[in-house]
Structure 1
Amino acid sequence: MDATFTGAWAGFGKSGFAGATFIGPALFDGATFGLARFDGATFASEAGFSGATFTGDACFGGAKFTGYAAFGEAKFNFNASFNQATFTRDAWFAGATFSSGGAWFNSSASFDGTMFNSSASFDGTTFTGDARFDGTTFTGDADFGRATFARDAWFGRASFAVPSHLEPLVCSGTVTLSGAVFEAPVTLEVAAQEVHCVRTRWESTATMRLRYATVDLSDAVLSAPMAVTAHSTAFATNLGGTLDEKMLILIAPDVRLTSLQGVDAAHMVLADIDLTTCLFSRAFHLDRLRLEGRCAFTRTPTGLHWRKIWPYWWSRRRTLAEEHHWRAHRAGAGNPDPPRGWQARSGLPGSVRPPKPEYLAATYRQLRKAFEDSKNEPGAADFYYGEMEMRRHDLAGTTVIERVLVRAYWLLSGYGLRASRALLWLGLAMSGTVLALMLWGLPTTVPLPSATGTATGSTISLKTDKPDLSITGDRWTLQRADRAVRVSVNAVVFRTSGQNLTRAGSYVEMVSKIIEPILLALAVLAVRERVKR
């Protein structure tokens, strides 16, 4: 049976085709529908709705399209439901418009549970309400190039069996890919406020080029290499122009990653991504994560702080967001506005504690290895500092003696990374050496040795005594200061000054020959860690 309603004159106020079977071509090209009910309808041949206008709800729930389905340039002014529909051959929605028919009416396009057994084209389609593709199966090519979503786009639990074209598309709300499965290589070019990929499965290579987006990759499964990159310019379309992003112009185009928790990062590359709020705990193989371009991490608090009456400031370095959360929780018991400038995790329940120092130390260690493999030595140095900080605060996995040694290492040179701290201690040590030598180490005068002996026959026996050096007179003279400085400077390089010293001065010189070269070596090491490539 053929059904042909072609032309703008074909109008349907309330069309009831629910459960109908169209054996031959069903052509509604250019027709106008009020309430259109095609629930459970079967289209055994071609179904043509190109240029059709649906001024009421368009209901195609459970419909079966065994032939070619054409909805190109169709206009859906209210809700369009294709839930559980089946498209056996190509489904063409290119240029279709899903829009709201009234200011108060929350219109949406729903394809939940729909199965597209051949290609499905939504190229250039505009959705002014929510677009839902939850549980949709695309066994053929899915083309969403130049698609525009004025609200949210839902692809949760959707399945993409062949290489699909999900680029470029723009969404003013959230693109949800949580639970979706990509069985073939895919490239995503998305400009959106948020992109959720929680528990998404990538069975093949994938590339995500993003703009404006805040991305959540918690518990995503990566079976092949995947790259997440921030795209610096507007996406180009297949028509030679650029994607219209005017609905997002009030948002910074930077891409922010909020979570890699539970992800095996062995195959992941991040390029030019903002990681200031990213959570890395529970992630695997972070040592094999590749960080390219400019990947920003959060920093320590700036400015002068006070601990009771003592001033202090934090060394400037890259940190993980989890360290901020841990220090804020430790300092302010979860206070959302913690003291000392560390940022608490927003929305963190009071009963949920941030990761413990031993876990943060392991995370820092793995990311340090990732920086070292990418030849970013200054970045690796910051993460080594973070690792040692967590070891210093780890009361469970670090012994008391080890914590004492680590604390001394931190105090003297900032774990071999703060040259200014090591040089300050070196200056203090040399000043102390000079002061001790002037007080107790340098004699005022050096008495000549005396010799006594006896003559027996033709043999003379002599005994020379060297008297102990003593200090008399003024200890604070420029001459004594000059001699003390020479002894101290020579001690830095293990050299003997050649000065006559008292017994106390000899011990002072021996101690300075141990301490001062170590401090000098720590300062040189710190400079080396900051400038080597």
Structure 2
Amino acid sequence: MANCAQCSNEAVVGERCLPHHIEGCPTDDVGRPVLAELDLSGRRLDDVQLDNLVITGDLNCAGTTFRGPLRVRDVDVGGFVDFNHAQMQAYVSIQGLTAGGPFRMRDAVLERDVYLSRVACTGVATLARSTLAGSVEIDGWRAHSLDLRRTTFQHRALLQLGDVTRVYLLRAGFQRGVRLTFAGPTRFDLQEVDLGGPSAITAAAPTVEAWRMQDRPILGRTLGTDLSQVRLSYVDLSECSFAGAHHLDKLTVEDWHGWRTSPRGLWVTHRVTLADEHRVRGHARWALPGPAGREAPSLDSVQADYHALRSMMQDRKDQRAASDFYYGEMEMRRIGLRRSVRSGLQARNWRAAFSAMGEWLLLCLYWLLSGYGQRAWRAFTTLAVVVAVAAGALDRWGFQTPTAYDDALRYALRAASTLLRGSDVALTPTGDWIELVLRLVAPLLLALGLLAIRERVRR
């Protein structure tokens, strides 16, 4: 290789080394060297430092081997930045790089520590299929999307993203965990992501402090990812599908307000729900906002997700959330039994249909009377209706001598308050049956109401 015409260093651009080439370029109004383009592709370089430059064209370092440190600071590039297939054997520091095109570092190998700060580009910034062996800190990135598919981080990574619309993490590997912070409503999926250490995904501190709920990151799906070491804080889970996730019961969710809720209605209990429940129900009332592109999982899958999340909340002693997830679990079970009954009747499989029908009717009563033991007002309202109806029936058919409704109501209340006390009023045979039913049903409804109160106030 030829040496620089001005020094003994290796010539990189034409007959000059990189520093002398930059030194010989014209400058702009603030004294920054202006290069038409910089092509370092395929070379082997010992020490590269680009500081306070303007490159009107492209910065091409594809296939370059950096044997020494790479330092880039306050560089404006008019076109793309390309580090594809580059091999960086020493420390890499890129601070304040602005590109008019995409930023590409695909299939690169970075053997030492990496610091990438204030990188902004138009279009996609990609580190796909790259291997980063040292510690990684990415701070303040701005791009339309960030592609980290099949990227391997062998050391713990710190990723603090700025204005990024979407992050692709398919089969990314964080072998010692990651702390991923979003400054805006970035959409991302944890699809077959390898999280080998404790990991935290959170909104940026200013978003949390200002309570800007619209700027929380949005998690889409967790298919094939082990969530046992993941902590989600101020992440929007209103569209998230947990189908196919591993160890969902070990997930930690710190923000109660990230979940979706059920639609308001007379027969719909307001509660926290999973987006997948809205998908499997299929009713317009339960439809999710935006385009419907995701396939609904099975009812059994959603029921299992509710069960796992209920276990997670119970471990955290958050009984309110656990109660809502239990309600959702039972709803999925009831809807599944109803569909089993319907399919059995349509297929004329009478044994299967009637076998599921008994359990379905029992669950329907449990839901109607007490909201699966979670809604005290239903049990107490039903108890009041039962006592009022029983008093009217006793007034009309129950007593051997005519009695006013007020007296019948007091008698029904006394009968509803005990199982064993005998009747102190002469009743007709019909009255005996009414009293017997009341003595059996009323304590059951009272117990369901007290159970629901206990579930709500327990901590």
Q: TM-score range by the shorter chain?
A: 0.7 to 0.9
Equivalent position of 2:407 in the other structure: 482
Select which of 98, 102, 122 maps to 2:94: 122
Aligned counterparts, 1:152-301, within 5 A: 152-166=124-138, 168-191=139-162, 192-212=164-184, 213-233=186-206, 252-301=214-263
Find the aligned partners of 1:405 and 1:345 in 2 and give their Cα distance. 37
Find the aligned partners of 1:264 and 1:139 in 2 and give their Cα distance. 27
Aligned positions, number: 430
Find the aligned partners of 1:4 and 1:169 in 2 and give their Cα distance. 40
Structure 2 gaps, min length 5? 341-351
1:498: Cα distance to partner?
A: 3.1
1:184: Cα distance to partner?
A: 0.4
> Within the alignment, does 1:85 sit opposite 2:64 as a pair?
yes
2:261 partner amino acid: R
1:383 partner amino acid: F
1:83 partner amino acid: A
1:119: Cα distance to partner?
A: 0.7
Aligned counterparts, 1:348-367, within 5 A: 348=293, 353-367=295-309
Larger radius of gyration: 1
> Within the alignment, does 1:29 sit opposite 2:22 as a pair?
yes
Aligned counterparts, 1:383-398, within 5 A: 383-394=325-336, 395=339
Equivalent position of 2:345 in the other structure: none
Identity of aligned residues (%): 26
Equivalent position of 2:349 in the other structure: none
Alignment partner of 1:513: what SS?
helix
> Within the alignment, does 1:343 sit opposite 2:305 as a pair?
no
Alignment partner of 1:189: what SS?
strand
1:265: Cα distance to partner?
A: 0.6
Structure 1 gaps, min length 5? 7-14, 34-49, 101-106, 236-249, 304-311, 332-338, 445-474
2:25 partner amino acid: T
Which one has the bigger helix percentage? 2
Equivalent position of 1:324 in the other structure: 278
Find the aligned partners of 1:70 and 1:132 in 2 and give their Cα distance. 19
1:419: Cα distance to partner?
A: 1.8
Select which of 483, 493, 506 maps to 2:432: 506
Alignment partner of 1:269: what SS?
strand
Select which of 373, 376, 379 maps to 1:422: 379
> Within the alignment, does 1:69 sit opposite 2:73 as a pair?
no
Give yes or no for contact 2:392–2:408 (8 Å, CA) kept in 1.
no
Give yes or no for contact 1:5–1:31 (8 Å, CA) kept in 2.
no
1:285: Cα distance to partner?
A: 0.7
Aligned in 2, Cα 1:151/1:357: closer, same or farther, shift over 3 Å? same
Equivalent position of 1:464 in the other structure: none
1:502: Cα distance to partner?
A: 2.9
Equivalent position of 1:401 in the other structure: 358
Find the aligned partners of 2:33 and 2:207 in 1 and give their Cα distance. 32
> Within the alignment, does 1:438 sit opposite 2:395 as a pair?
yes
Give yes or no for contact 1:189–1:210 (8 Å, CA) kept in 2.
yes
Find the aligned partners of 1:96 and 1:484 in 2 and give their Cα distance. 86
Find the aligned partners of 2:416 and 2:41 in 1 and give their Cα distance. 88
Find the aligned partners of 1:86 and 1:506 in 2 and give their Cα distance. 95
1:282: Cα distance to partner?
A: 0.7
Aligned in 2, Cα 1:430/1:89: closer, same or farther, shift over 3 Å? same
1:387: Cα distance to partner?
A: 0.7
Find the aligned partners of 2:135 and 2:147 in 1 and give their Cα distance. 19
Find the aligned partners of 2:449 and 2:279 in 1 and give their Cα distance. 31
1:434: Cα distance to partner?
A: 0.7
Deviation per CA, 1:308-342, whole angstroms, max 9, x where unpaired?
A: xxxx54211111111111222xx4xxxxxxx2242
